[in-house]
Amino acid sequence: MDVLTLSRWQFAVTGMFHFIFVPLTLGLSILIAYFETRYVMTNDETWLKMAKFWGKLFLINFILGIVTGITMEFQLGMNWAEYSKYVGDIFGAPLAIEAMVAFFLESVFIGVWVFGWNKISKKMHAISIWIVAVATNLSALWILLANGWMQHPVGYHLVTNTAGQVRAEMIDFVAMLVNPYGLIKFAHTVTSGYVVAAFFVMGISAWHLVRRNEMTFFKRSFRAASIFGLVACILVAVTGEFHGVEIAKTQPTKLAAMEAVWETQRGVPLSLIQFPDVDNERNSIAWLNIPNLVSFLAVHDANGEVKGLKDFPKELRPPVLPTFWSFRIMVALGMFMTFISMLGVYLSGKKDFEKYKLFLSVVLFSLPLPYIAGQLGWIVAEVGRQPWIVYGVLKTSDAVSKSISTVQVVGSLLGFTLLYGGLAVIDIYLLAKYSRKGPDGILTSISYATERRN
């Protein structure tokens, strides 16, 4: 493999591994803040135990997320120097804001939350975790606005320096801030993170409920997470629909690959069973068609036109099979998780909820599904954008560093793979250890200096 292919693999490995931790941080921070707020409002010790138990798992995930995220930014200079030179003036701005505002904010207040027990009032302590939750989601906003610009570049112009080198410069920062692609992508991504957190809490709670451990604690955890998960699943579907419309406007090749549309046509049906034949540029199987549904979802017009892949040169088309199947499986998983969440909300309201052991076992084994769906979503987003790294502006093949060798990239790829593999073992071990332990060892009799003074 050449430097380009190896560099793409390296960024994919590190990026997908990093995104194992990000979505759980986004959603679990909100759930923990809710649990602690309920404690402040009710003085019910169970809510406090919930905040501390799930908070311990949150911290394990949070720390590893930071470690794995730092290496991605270094790769922009090491493996993708041409990209950095071409669009660094634009891409660097949101990354810098994310680090100086959102990351610093969450880093400071996670410290307040961790070390503030017994030192500040319980109200201020609850506010600190809310700030962490807001800052974490704000961090995602800046990252996704940057990625949204790569998907649909706005507010820039191209300039040529005296050496004849072309680069993009920002001329409208507000345009990037209100870029519909970036905002919709942010909403879709963070709500999918909420689904990850919901199924994380539901899955661990189900494991304990099957074993009849801490029944009140885990029934309440499951109930809160299932409601949170159902709302999040609905929001993922809604934002996904808006995202599809935006893709149809800005990246017609990606939409055509997602739905395996080869010929430009109106009133495109959705085939529930479909197998693309890339070599012959057709679908070998297209069964159980729902008339006009692709057109309706893509342009909100049942007779709307959808451009086919054949309208674009082959060298400008994304890889069809990974884009198509990733999208199909992601949607199927989303529908399944919505059903599980609905059933969870209904059954968790019953007094004898723990007797539904088959359902609880299904929930437990469903815990990885939102992680898988999220990874598939990023495959659709990034593979579906190819051959562009900045859509319509800069090709991926022109963005890779020119001064590195194959041997160097092989070495760094193997190093990252081994390092991240070790971190994965540590992460799974710690999460499993403290998840199985339950809240038994967690102190709940917390005294607050401010309360004593009042």
Count how many residues are written for the chain: 454
DSSP 55-117: HHHHHHHHHHHHHHHHHHHHHHHHT-HHHHHHHHHHHHHHHHHIIIIIIHHHHHHHHHHHH-T
- CA 185 vs. chain centroid, Å, equals 10
Burial of 296 (0-12, 13-18, 19+ CB in 10 A): middle
Measured over all CA atoms, what is the biggest interatomic distance in the chain, rounded to whole angstroms? 78
Rounded distance between C-alpha atoms, residue 248 and residue 307, angstroms: 9
For 190, the token pair is 């963070």
CA proximity to 220, closest of 50, 40, 360: 50
Q: Is 386 inside any structural domain?
A: yes
pLDDT digits (tens, 9 = 90+) for 107-122: 889 888 888 888 888 8
- Evaluate if pTM is beyond 0.95: no
Residue-wise over 26-53: b if at least 16 C-beta within 10 A, else e? bbbbbbbbbbbbbbbeeeeebbbbbbbb
How many whole angstroms separate alpha carbon 431 and alpha carbon 65?
14
Task: Give Cα separations from 392 to 59, 79, 176, 388, 389 (angstroms).
Answer: 40, 21, 16, 6, 9
SS3 404: coil
Map residue 305 onto helix, strand or coil.
strand
Both tokens assigned to 316: 């400008």
Residue 302 lies in a domain: no
| Assigned domain for 115 exists | yes
What's the burial of 341, exposed, middle or buried (CB within 10 Å: 0-12/13-18/19+)? buried
Per-residue confidence (pLDDT) for residue 442, from 0 to 100: 52
Q: Is 211 contained in some domain?
A: yes
pLDDT at 441: 56
pLDDT for the residue 332? 93
The full DSSP string for 339-371 is HHHHHHHHHTTSTTGGG-HHHHHHHHHTTTHHH
Report, as ranges of residue numbers, the positions in the chain whose pLDDT lies below 50.
443-454
d(CA 247, CA 298): 8
Render pLDDT for 39-87 as a digit per residue (tens, 0 to 9): 989 988 888 888 899 999 998 888 887 777 777 777 777 888 888 888 8
Domain boundaries, position 384: 3-264+307-453
Residue 256: CB atoms within 10 A of its CB come to 31
What's the 3-state SS for 189-257? Answer: HHHHHHHHHHHHHHHHHHHHHHCCCCHHHHHHHHHHHHHHHHHHHHHHHHHHHHHHHHHHHHCHHHHHH
Domain assignment present for residue 396? The answer is yes
Q: Which one, of 394, 383, 381, lies nearest residue 186 by Cα?
A: 381
Tally of domains in the chain: 1
CA torsion angle 397 399 401 405 (round to 10): -20
Residue 29 belongs to what H/E stretch? Answer: helix 3-42
CA dihedral 24→25→30→31, nearest 10 degrees, is: 50
Cβ atoms of residues 155 and 181 within 8 Å: no
Alpha-carbon dihedral of residues 46, 50, 52, 53, nearest 10 degrees?
120
With residues binned 3-state (H G I as helix, E B as strand, rest as coil), the percentages for the chain, rounded to 5, are 75, 10, 20
The H or E element that residue 325 is part of is: helix 320-347
Residue type, 246: E
pLDDT of residue 405: 85
- The string over 351-365, giving b where at least 16 C-beta atoms fall within 10 Å of a residue's C-beta and e elsewhere, is eebbebeebbebbbe
Please, is 314 exposed, middle or buried when counting C-beta atoms within 10 Å of its C-beta (0-12, 13-18, 19+)? Answer: exposed
A 10 A CB-CB count for 155 gives: 16
